[in-house]
Amino acid sequence: MLHVASVETVIVFRTTVALLTAVGDWIWLGKELPSAQSWAALLSIVAGAAGYSYAEGGQLTTDSMVWGVVYVLVLAFEMLYVKHVVTEVKMTTWTRVYYNNMISLAFNMPLIISSQLAVQPLVANSGAASLVASVALPAVQNIVAPWGSLISLVMLSALGGLGISYAGFGFRSMVSATTFTLAGIMCKVATVLMSQILFENKASLQGVACLGLCVGGATLYKPSPDRPKPGATTMLPMQIKS
């Protein structure tokens, strides 16, 4: 999707995932439908993201719409299915991290190798190899030198990824799929807000206000409780007659 749409447009589509997971939680995972306050909160997040995208020049094309719909459906399925697995398959958080990373490694390594083989002829034929050798490599070496080696940066990245994986599975086990999705959305929004502080490409006042609307909507969201199980009875207080 990032090939055909701006980051702002991607964020807008990302915010709509919570609307689908809220319904999915009710259909498949035994949750109540969100309250009116929670629906208003989720919709305000989508509205804020759409306003930010419009203010910052995000454009919606046919290609971005198609990929956006695919992106949203895949994410919604992943959020609901992984929550189902975490609930039904009893494992420790470390065991889930181990299986998740080992299984993904089996898929990633062939993709990494094949992508490198596909890129090398393009780089060689385009003259980009000399550009990389003369410009990019010295720049990378200057960045890596204080750390000692490139391997140290890779290991640091791996440790960060391990922490994200552990925190993610631990959090998933405690909250609903919608709450976890909403946390991910707020991570994207917070990243955009932080980029406005750390980098020079400042957003417009309207764009920042729309991001504030997203944050405000998230604070109003109230997680849905579990649905009563079929056949469950409610215990009434016993009354003693005098």
* Tens digit of each residue's pLDDT (9 = 90 or more) over 115-136: 777 766 655 555 544 544 555 5
| Displacement of CA 232 from its chain's centroid (Å) | 36
Domain that holds residue 63: 7-220
The pLDDT score that the predictor gives to residue 231 is 65
Q: Which residues of the chain have pLDDT under 70?
A: 119-148, 200-202, 231-242
Structure confidence at residue 93 (pLDDT)? 95
In a domain, 225, yes or no: no
Instruction: Answer whether residue 123 is part of any domain.
Output: yes
pLDDT, tens digit, for every residue of 135-160?
Answer: 555 555 565 555 567 788 888 998 99
Query: Which residue type does 218 have?
Result: A
Kindly state whether residue 165 falls inside one of the protein's structural domains.
yes
Count of domains for the chain: 1
Distance CA 8, CA 77 (A): 22
Q: Rounded to whole angstroms, how far apart are CA atoms 206 and 112?
A: 41
Q: Which of 8, 17, 6, 14 has the alpha carbon at shortest distance from 52?
A: 8
Residue for token digits 């609930």? Answer: 87
Q: Supply the pTM of this predicted model.
A: 0.79
How far apart (Å, rounded) are the C-alpha atoms in residues 92 and 170? 9
Q: Is residue 82 part of a domain?
A: yes
Q: Look at residue 88 and tell me if it is in a domain.
A: yes
171 contacts 180 by C-beta, under 8 angstroms: yes
Asked if residue 242 is part of any domain, the answer here is no
Contact 19, 42 (CB under 8 A): yes
Confidence (pLDDT) at 143? 56
Q: Is residue 227 domain-resident?
A: no
Give the pLDDT of residue 144: 52
User: Does a structural domain hold residue 25?
Assistant: yes
Q: Which amino acid is at 186?
A: M
